[in-house]
Structure 1
Amino acid sequence: MTVSDLSPMVAGSVRMTRWFTLAHGVWAYRADVAVYLGAVVALLVALALHSPPTPWWQTSGLAAAGLLGWTLVEYGLHRFVLHGMAPFRHWHAAHHAMPTALIYTPTVLSAGLFALLVFLPVMHWGGVWPASAWTLGMLVGYLGFTVTHHATHHWRARAGWLRRRKAWHARHHHLHRGCYGVTSGFWDRVFGSADVR
């Protein structure tokens, strides 16, 4: 299936303008992963080499909290934004229609949102080092989500964690609701969206 095979609304959601598209080539897709991997490494190096004014355990705790926070953001974005709000639900419908297409949020947009909604508010509240640690955790979570989501649609898994994630996500694609967590089913169980039929 190609973009032109989709309904006009879904096709228009994938290719909205000449400069803004959700369907990308393989190199742009890989570049997105490389950008976030680079950001994670840069934040790790910055936190390791330039000792923050906070103890290492506090910095590590903020990064861990950011990672755990990502799991809730991932669930909330998928359930309430990508399946609930226009125009995002139309964009996400393109992914459901073509699950193996390289459809994702453009890197410029997602990076801008991380800066605006994660790094800057935490920096305003607590300074550069807490913002760097919290953002590091969130970016590790986002990178894990990106790789896991790609793997659920493109990689083979005969056993283990990835096979369970693939089955979970396939159930979501089949039902178009429930099983919103990609990297974890924890929040689906907490909010009652794990056992939908």
Structure 2
Amino acid sequence: MAAPRSFSAAEVRDRCARGECLVRCRRRLYDLSAFVRLHPGGERLLRSRAGTDVSAALDGPPHRHSANARRWLEQYYVGELRDEQSCPKAEKPLDAAAPRLDPRCKPVDVGTDLVDWRKPLLWQVGYLGEKYDEWVHQPVDRPIRLFHSDFIEALSKTAWYVVFLVWTPVVFYLSWLSYTALAQGDTRLFSSFTAEYSIPVHKHCFPFIFLLGMFLWSLLEYLIHRFVFHMKPPASNYYLITLHFLLHGQHHKSPFDSSRLVFPPVPASLVMAFFYGVLRLLLPEVLGLSVFVGGLCGYVVYDMMHYYLHYGSPKEGTYLYGLKAYHVKHHFEHQKSGFGITTRFWDHPFRTLIPEETFEKED
């Protein structure tokens, strides 16, 4: 193995001045230039620490970084600081008598990778067995290839705007169809049970039915994320492990793979057809369609928001800023809680809310 590259303080200072984002943990240097836009705390916070020792910041406040976050940091390791001086922004010069490595800055063992990244991963992960659950929840910053076939591989990837372009016209069309059908005045609730006590459904009820559909989608979003996407496949079952990785494990392994953050339209349409069929069995046709279109709109909002929570930079203190930090905690530390994406609402009654961090005040 080649020896790590050595950097002088002047070289680090010059690279910081050119807009690069190098930080250090005692003498270990990391180039976070490619990560600043994705940082959960915002790009401005990370750039303000360019050239500084971030060892104290790793333990917080404002946030105590998890073992996965420290492992993630190691991916950007570029070398060692050569002399005893630091960049001008550093809090204080290094003490010559200090140990070379602070306990908070010891290299995190990233381990020997259990798969061959040069080959499609989908057919490999099932062989990980008992090691799969730990492996899949140790995120990496690299793209994932699932299939051997270039054609099938292309179908498994989706740009975020495809979801918006495909489903938004469908939402508008079905909304118009539902509203005009209700405007005819012949839709009644409970008419299949009793004509005498059935309730007429006026066209002005459509917005409320639409919102009901969005509300029901938020519950469905939570349930699917928690009980389907986060099922723990038996270690002895190759096929269930493979299915889990295809559905959601790939996203946890590579959370910033931009081509795999939204659901491809073809499989999405099959899932939607199933839920539409269920609504048709439970409700009159027009009511079922009205609830369905609200749920479809909720799904579009969900996919767009999910992409934004990974790649957006919301303003500090806003709802989306808190939601982004919440979702990143789910990925890096709390994989068994924090299942809400568009809202934390359902995490409250189901008791899966990610706990708030507390820090003791120093004397």
The TM-score by the shorter chain falls in which range? 0.7 to 0.9
Equivalent position amino acid for 1:80 in 2: F
Paired residue for 1:78?
Answer: 225
Paired residue for 2:281?
Answer: 124
Paired residue for 1:100?
Answer: 256
Q: Is the 8 A contact 1:66 1:138 kept in 2?
A: yes
Equivalent position amino acid for 1:55 in 2: H
Instruction: Indicate yes or no: 2:283 matched with 1:150.
Output: no
Superposition deviation, residue 126 in structure 1 = 2.6
Ranges in structure 2 where 5+ consecutive residues have no aligned partner: 1-74, 76-116, 126-135, 137-143, 188-200, 234-239, 358-363
Q: Is the 8 A contact 2:120 2:147 kept in 1?
A: no
Q: Is the 8 A contact 1:81 1:88 kept in 2?
A: no
Paired residue for 2:170?
Answer: 39
Q: Name which of 313, 322, 325 aligns with 1:164.
A: 322
Which deviations, in whole Å up to 9, do the C-alpha atoms of 1:76-102 show, x marking residues without a partner?
111110010535431212111211212
What TM-score do the two structures reach when normalised by structure 2?
0.48
Q: Name which of 252, 268, 285 aligns with 1:110.
A: 268
Equivalent position amino acid for 1:184 in 2: T
Percent identical pairs in the alignment equals: 21
Q: Is the 8 A contact 1:123 1:131 kept in 2?
A: yes
Structure 1 residues 147 and 135: CA distance shift in structure 2, 3 A: same
Structure 1 residues 162 and 47: CA distance shift in structure 2, 3 A: same
SS in 2 for 1:74: helix
What TM-score do the two structures reach when normalised by structure 1?
0.83
Q: Is the 8 A contact 2:327 2:341 kept in 1?
A: yes
Instruction: Give me the whole-angstrom Cα distance separating, in 2, the residues matched to 1:49 and 1:162.
Output: 35
Instruction: Give me the whole-angstrom Cα distance separating, in 1, the residues matched to 2:148 and 2:230.
Output: 19
Superposition deviation, residue 61 in structure 1 = 2.8
- Larger deviation: 101-110 or 171-180? 101-110
Q: Is the 8 A contact 1:172 1:180 kept in 2?
A: yes
1:171-190 aligned at under 5 Å gives the runs: 171-175=329-333, 176-190=335-349
1:52-91 aligned at under 5 Å gives the runs: 53=187, 54-84=201-231, 86=240, 87-91=242-246
- Give the root-mean-square deviation of aligned CA atoms: 2.7
Q: Is the 8 A contact 1:22 1:105 kept in 2?
A: no
Equivalent position amino acid for 2:245 in 1: H
Between Structure 1 and Structure 2, the one with more strand by share is 2
Q: Name which of 141, 147, 152 aligns with 1:19.
A: 152
Which deviations, in whole Å up to 9, do the C-alpha atoms of 1:26-82 show, x marking residues without a partner?
3xx422221111111111222334425331243333222211111111111111100
Structure 1 residues 24 and 44: CA distance shift in structure 2, 3 A: same
Instruction: Give me the whole-angstrom Cα distance separating, in 2, the residues matched to 1:25 and 1:147.
Output: 12
Instruction: Give me the whole-angstrom Cα distance separating, in 2, the residues matched to 1:156 and 1:61.
Output: 32
- Larger deviation: 185-194 or 42-51? 42-51
Q: Which has the higher contact order (CA 8 A, sep 6+)?
A: 1
- Larger deviation: 86-95 or 177-186? 86-95
- Larger deviation: 31-40 or 84-93? 84-93
Instruction: Give me the whole-angstrom Cα distance separating, in 2, the residues matched to 1:72 and 1:170.
Output: 20
Instruction: Give me the whole-angstrom Cα distance separating, in 2, the residues matched to 1:40 and 1:108.
Output: 16
Instruction: Give me the whole-angstrom Cα distance separating, in 2, the residues matched to 1:158 and 1:20.
Output: 35
Superposition deviation, residue 174 in structure 1 = 0.9
Count of residues in correspondence between the two structures: 192
Larger radius of gyration: 2
Instruction: Give me the whole-angstrom Cα distance separating, in 2, the residues matched to 1:4 and 1:105.
Output: 24
